[in-house]
Amino acid sequence: EPEVTQTPSHQVTQMGQEVILRCVPISNHLYFYWYRQILGQKVEFLVSFYNNEISEKSEIFDDQFSVERPDGSNFTLKIRSTKLEDSAMYFCASVQEDSPLHFGNGTRLTVT
Amino acid sequence: GESVGLHLPTLSVQEGDNSIINCAYSNSASDYFIWYKQESGKGPQFIIDIRSNMDKRQGQRVTVLLNKTVKHLSLQIAATQPGDSAVYFCAEFYGGATNKLIFGTGTLLAVQP
């Protein structure tokens, strides 16, 4: 069964550094998402992406965040200047249309 | 250091018993609901979904009930097994062009052997 893959599985970075989290969504899917989960808390919506542009973003997704689909297979989340509070699991998801989102296993981001 | 997270509601059941996990959703306009299971260190995994034109849907060992009047969802797991131990999230689609999925708080299901 096709799945969403995310790399790296764990990223450690220093405060103020830029990080790029990478995702390969399922190939025939049309909608792409990033979610965040702080340890022990619920999964929070960050951004949705469709037709090569952002469809919607949450208040968490401020100017330090950006997303890109640089080619036909990858979907990236960039955090320009990381803060301690950005430490979390970041999940990528994709969906064809009007069906359940498929999630990757996440990237654990640790900001020190 | 890491932030202290919220304490999740916990349901503790004996192996073989039936489990019922409840969820209240927020948006009366939501028309599609999904239950996800999340095991430690993994992403949310789809279990079962239901649309707003239904009030019950059954899968293998799982049943979802929807009560739109009180904006309530439940997930019933029959003959709970140790492998069912995980955090369970309900999620609602806010609808529209974005298909934005919003998660609830989550319930930790602990199955005792």
What is the pLDDT confidence band of residue B26, given thresholds at 50, 70 and 90?
confident
Which pLDDT score is estimated for A50? Answer: 92
Q: Which of B43, B46, B98 sits opposite A105 (nearest CB)?
A: B43
Note every long-range contact of B63-72, with CB atoms under 8 Å and residues 24 or more positions apart, other chains counting. Answer: B64/B33, B64/B35, B66/B33, B68/B28, B70/B24, B71/B24, B71/B25, B71/B26, B71/B28, B72/B22, B72/B23, B72/B24, B72/B25
Contacts of A105 in chain B (CB under 8 A): 41-43
Read off the tokens for A31. Answer: 């909608």
pLDDT for residue A111: 98
Q: What's the pLDDT band for B24 if we cut at 50, 70, 90? A: very high
Question: For residue range B28-85, what is the model confidence (pLDDT) as tens digits?
Answer: 889 999 999 999 989 999 999 999 999 999 999 999 999 999 999 999 999 999 999 9
Task: Give the CB-side neighbour count of residue A17, counting CA atoms within 13 A.
Answer: 12
> What dihedral angle (degrees, nearest 10) is formed by the CA atoms of A105, A109, A110, B4?
-70
DSSP letters, B41-80, are TS--EEEEEEETT-SEEE-SSEEEEEETTTTEEEEEESS-
The answer on pLDDT for B1 being more than 50 is no
Average pLDDT over residues A73-78: 96
Using an 8 Å Cβ cutoff, are A50 and A31 in contact? Answer: yes
Partners of B37 in beta bridges: B45, B88
For the residues A56-65, what does the mean pLDDT come to? 95
Rounded mean pLDDT of A51-61?
93
Chain A residues within an 8 Å CB radius of B103? 35, 42-45
